[in-house]
Amino acid sequence: MTEQSDMARRPMVNLDGRTAIITGSGKGIGAAVAKCLASHGAAVVINYVHDAASAQRTVEDIHSLGGSAIAVQADVCDESQSSKLVGTAVDSFGGVDILVNNAFGRFSFDPRRRSTFAGGDWDEFSAQIEGCLHGAYLMCSHVVPLMRAQTSGRIINISSNLVDSPIVPYHSYITAKGGLVGMTRSLAQELGGFGITVNAIAAGLTAGTASSAATTEDVRERIIAMTPLGRLARPDDIAGGVALLASDMAGFITGQCLHVDGGLTMR
């Protein structure tokens, strides 16, 4: 067998022997990420807060394809519960190699009911910052010591293309997701010397998720018309970006925010 043909047979992404925690992964984008990473060989820990049935279905889907997965209930904004989530991953699979911070506070991309800045209040901002930033902060605080000890790791934070292209100004959500990008870059600077990469995915409006269900048709059509690839994102699109950043192929990429929105945002 030639070297060229041997290379052609290798999987583009190989996560064999690695363990991934995906927060907020019982359904939607998180579930797609969990299934994708499992399909490339990772053992995955599916995290949920309320919907145990959806999380268990995701586990069963992964098992049916020969993958390894468990579901763990935990509010990642709670210190003890986030610690338990990481501890369960270590006890079940021996460590943590990949952390995907996907969980965020409940939000609906409904342009008809969004809070204008003058009509909003700090409580809404606080809820988004708590759900997005606090959860990511706690999860990182628990996994970073493990990754430093093993001198390797991947942290991937799910942000939004609205940070760079606020087509609809969802102020609280965009503020929280923008903060997550800032945390991504500061952590990347500090942790690079330990072999840990930290990156973000700026997801476009993603069809089929609970958060996008209330988006009006005119807004959807406007986004599609502005998108070079001519459609909305799908959960599997976001999952593909995560898999790339989790892999050895992205081993020299850190501190970056990868836009997965069909070219709507170009930087």
Cβ contacts of 136 within 8 Å, gap of 6 or more:
23, 76, 101, 103, 157, 180, 183
State both tokens at 193. Answer: 């010397």
Residues of the chain with pLDDT under 50: 1-10
142 in helix, strand or coil?
Answer: helix
Domains of the chain: 14-260 (3.40.50.720)
Identified catalytic residue from 48, 137, 170, 173: 173
CB 7, CB 32: distance < 8 Å: no
Q: The whole model's pTM is what?
A: 0.93
3-state helix, strand, coil in the chain (%, to 5): 50, 15, 35
The model's pLDDT over 6-19, given as tens digits with 9 standing for 90+, comes to 444 445 799 999 99
Cβ contacts of 2 within 8 Å, gap of 6 or more:
none
Q: Are strands 196-203 and 43-48 parallel, antiparallel or unpaired?
A: unpaired
State both tokens at 209. Answer: 């998720």
Quick one: pLDDT at residue 7? 41
Quick one: pLDDT at residue 120? 64
48 is catalytic: no
Quick one: pLDDT at residue 27? 92
User: What is the enclosing helix (H) or strand (E) of 190?
Assistant: helix 171-191
Quick one: pLDDT at residue 244? 97
Quick one: pLDDT at residue 107? 72
The model's pLDDT over 65-84, given as tens digits with 9 standing for 90+, comes to 999 999 999 999 999 999 99
The rounded distance, in Å, linking the Cα atoms of 240 and 156 is 12
